[in-house]
Amino acid sequence: MEGMSLPGPLELGSLTVDTPVVLAPMAGVTNAAFRRLCAEQGAGLYVCEMITSRGLVEGDQHTKDMLVFDEAETVRSVQLYGTDPVYVGKATEILCADYGVAHVDLNFGCPVPKVTRKGGGGALPYKRGLLGEILEHAVRAAEPYDVPVTMKTRKGIDDDHLTYMDAGRIAQESGAAAIALHGRTVAQAYSGTADWDAIAELKASVDIPVLGNGDIWEAADAIRMVEETGVDGVVIGRGCLGRPWLFRDLAAAFAGDSVKVLPTLGEVTDIMRRHAELLCDHMGEERGCKEIRKHIAWYLKGFGAGGELRRTLGLVNSLADLDKMLDQLDRNEPFPSSQLGAPRGRQGAPRDKVVLPEGWLDDADGRGCGFAENVAETSGG
């Protein structure tokens, strides 16, 4: 597919995403502050942290607290987790009617054991009938509001139980507006490399837009994925941790401009400070400063900041303290090229065995099994 032209805006039903780039929901990361920070860098679609359909339907306070949007967030996008078609349908309706959401994504890719143990996330597409029921309930609930429903999945449970080709067919038949594929199995979690050939195979088999996910660390990787697979857009997860300017590079690359200026430590510091400020605006200073701590480690990865300064930054509890510490950094230090193209965030090891409900693999249909989901599942995939 070499030399093929870059995709234009991503069309999800009636929603047009100018740059075909989607920020993947990540638990504890893609809150309103981080979404705004990424959106300030480049156009795209920025998805809220995953929430549970049961939590939303039952009015769980923690779930409601996660559904916070920034005033600059014009297109609200939420990822929903669920294993029961009725709950997922009701939750979709609540998102459309009460929260003004413009896009609902369904999570069928999460590899976390506490989720797969209940038949959720990346385990669910094995039950083809149940997958179809959940998608149909969500699409039907969103239809009166003209809100597109998409799904995100993985290749399958493991190499012996691949589900992505069936999932694509079912997504299309159910009226989903697009399907995103992370080119790993649940067993791989975040280890190894993503299988872009599987993404290309899925793209060739369906008529709805296909988004590719996995191992996009730089804008050039996104362009290479498009050229190798023909996808309609890309989903960015761990690649943007501590690097929200990746969305600026992606917007430029999809506009056909390959100019890429690596930020100095001073520019990284300014973005980090902006991130902290947005977190404090949304959460209050004490909690906002606690939240920025994990991001500081990602922002400074590969830079020469000393151990003692890193340690005190990891304990920061006010913006004034943060400013004092950031002033000690060398603003002219160049970006560490060792970090380019390198995996970020968790990788972990592949799993010998995926935790599944008893007898899960005995029935590949699963219609009417309506597994009870936990109110508090939160993750990504």
Pick the CATH number of 265-334 from 1.10.1200, 3.90.25, 3.10.20, 3.30.43: 1.10.1200
The helix/strand/coil state of 154 is: strand
Is 79 flagged in the annotation as binding? yes
Catalytic residue among 96, 110, 240, 280: 110
Is 280 a known active-site residue? Answer: no
Name the strand (E) or helix (H) holding 290. helix 285-299
Domain ranges, ordered by start, for the chain? 16-255, 265-334
- Indicate the helix (H) or strand (E) that contains 96: helix 85-99
Mean pLDDT of 207-226: 96
- Categorize the per-residue pLDDT at 377 as very low, low, confident or very high, splitting at 50, 70 and 90: low
> Residue 338's pLDDT band (boundaries 50, 70, 90)?
confident
The string of pLDDT tens digits covering residues 115-146 is 999 999 999 999 999 999 999 999 999 999 99
- Among 4-18, 158-172, 223-237, the range scoring the smallest mean pLDDT is 4-18
**Residue 155 labelled as part of a binding site:** no
Instruction: State whether residue 255 is helix, strand or coil.
Output: coil
Q: What's the Rg (C-alpha) of the chain?
A: 20
Domain 16-255 sits in CATH 1.10.3720.10: no
pLDDT at 334: 96
Annotated ligand binding at 26? The verdict is yes
| In the chain, % of residues over pLDDT 70 | 96
Contact (Cβ atoms closer than 8 angstroms) between residue 137 and residue 86:
yes
Secondary structure letter of residue 18 according to DSSP: S
**Maximum pairwise Cα distance, the chain:** 61
**Cβ count near 129 (within 10 Å):** 15
Residue 114 marked as a ligand binder: no
Q: What is the pLDDT of residues 4-22, one digit of tens each?
A: 689 999 999 999 999 999 9
Beta carbons within 10 angstroms of residue 144's beta carbon: 10
> How far apart, in whole angstroms, are the C-alpha atoms of residue 71 and residue 380?
24
State yes or no: 275 annotated in a binding site.
Answer: no
**Given a cut of 60, is residue 375 above it in pLDDT?**
no
**Over residues 250-273, mean pLDDT:** 92
